[in-house]
C-alpha cells in the first residue's frame, strides 16, 4: 500500500507540473488569440466597408444611365473605372481571407 501511495504522489506531482506548464503556455498565447480576434474583426469591417462602397458605386453607375442621371450631367463613372479602383482591394481581400 505504501508503494501505491508513493507512486500516486509521484504521478500527482508530475500532473501538477504538467498543469502548471500548460497554464503558463495558455497565458503566453492568450494575447495572441486576442490579437488574432482583433485582426479578424478589422478584416471583416474592411470587407464590409469595401462591399458597401462597391454597391454604392454600382448603384451610381446604374443611376447615371437612367433618365435622371443623364439630366444631372455629372462626371460619368464607368464600370471600367470601378474595376481599376477596386482590383487591388479585391486581391487583398481574397488573400487576407485565405490567411484567416
Structural domains in the chain (count): 1
| pLDDT tens for each residue of 34-49 | 888 898 899 999 889 9
The whole-number pLDDT of residue 83 equals: 78
SS3 sequence of 18-40: HHHHHHHHHHHHHHHHHHHHHHH
pLDDT > 80? residue 27: yes
| pLDDT tens for each residue of 59-97 | 888 888 877 767 777 767 777 777 777 777 778 887 877
Contacts of 82 (CB under 8 A, 6+ apart): 54, 57, 58, 61
Predicted model pTM: 0.58
Show the domain range for 94.
2-99
Dist CA 64 CA 72 (whole Å): 8
The whole-number pLDDT of residue 100 equals: 66
pLDDT > 90? residue 22: yes
Is the Cβ–Cβ distance between 82 and 57 less than 8 Å?
A: yes
Q: Which of 75, 41, 42 is nearest to 61 (CA)?
A: 75
Amino acid at each position: 500500500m505504501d508503494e501505491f501511495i508513493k507512486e500516486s504522489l509521484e504521478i500527482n506531482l508530475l500532473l501538477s507540473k504538467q498543469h502548471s506548464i500548460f497554464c503558463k503556455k495558455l497565458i503566453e498565447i492568450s494575447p495572441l488569440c486576442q490579437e488574432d480576434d482583433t485582426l479578424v474583426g478589422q478584416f471583416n469591417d474592411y470587407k464590409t466597408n469595401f462591399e458597401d462602397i462597391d454597391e454604392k458605386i454600382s448603384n451610381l453607375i446604374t443611376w447615371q444611365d437612367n433618365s435622371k442621371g443623364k439630366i444631372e450631367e455629372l462626371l460619368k463613372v464607368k464600370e471600367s473605372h470601378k474595376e481599376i479602383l477596386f482590383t487591388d482591394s479585391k486581391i487583398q481581400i481574397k488573400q487576407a481571407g485565405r490567411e484567416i
